[in-house]
Amino acid sequence: MKDLKTRTKEFALRIIRLYSALPKSTETQVIGKQLLRSGTSVGAHYREGTRARSDAEFISKIEGGLQELEESCYWMELLLEAEIVPEKKLADLMNEAGELTAILITCAKNAKEKKEGRK
């Protein structure tokens, strides 16, 4: 099983490849750049979290990654619903976003419980 550092980097690389393959229309490029920013930020937040100096900082970084994942899903939904990218091309990437979301939620929840247990 791949570790989260690897999975979030691979997610970013898949987002980069998707962006590179998008049509060059203005509206698609605007949506694509938003997706590029949010999708590549997930792994950066996770890595920052692994170097956190406190549980609170770790939680903050992980929750930042969750926000970026949610935003990435939004931009992918727009690409689908605007009929810019077919569902079959986005299904695996959207599934991975969902799995990463579930993992990061668990990470944040466990860290919060650990932090509360110390009080």
CA triple 95-71-56, angle to 5 deg: 100
Architecture field, domain 4-118: Up-down Bundle (1.20)
Query: Which element (helix H / strand E) includes 14?
Result: helix 4-21
Give me the torsion for CA of 60, 63, 67, 70, rounded to 10°.
170
pLDDT at 61: 97
Which residue ranges in the chain fall short of pLDDT 70? 1, 118-119
Distance between alpha carbon 43 and the CA centroid of its chain, in Å? 7
pLDDT of residue 118: 64
First to last CA, the chain: 34
What is the reported pLDDT for 2? 79
Q: What is the pLDDT of residue 117?
A: 80
Q: What is the pLDDT of residue 107?
A: 95
What pLDDT score does 119 carry?
54
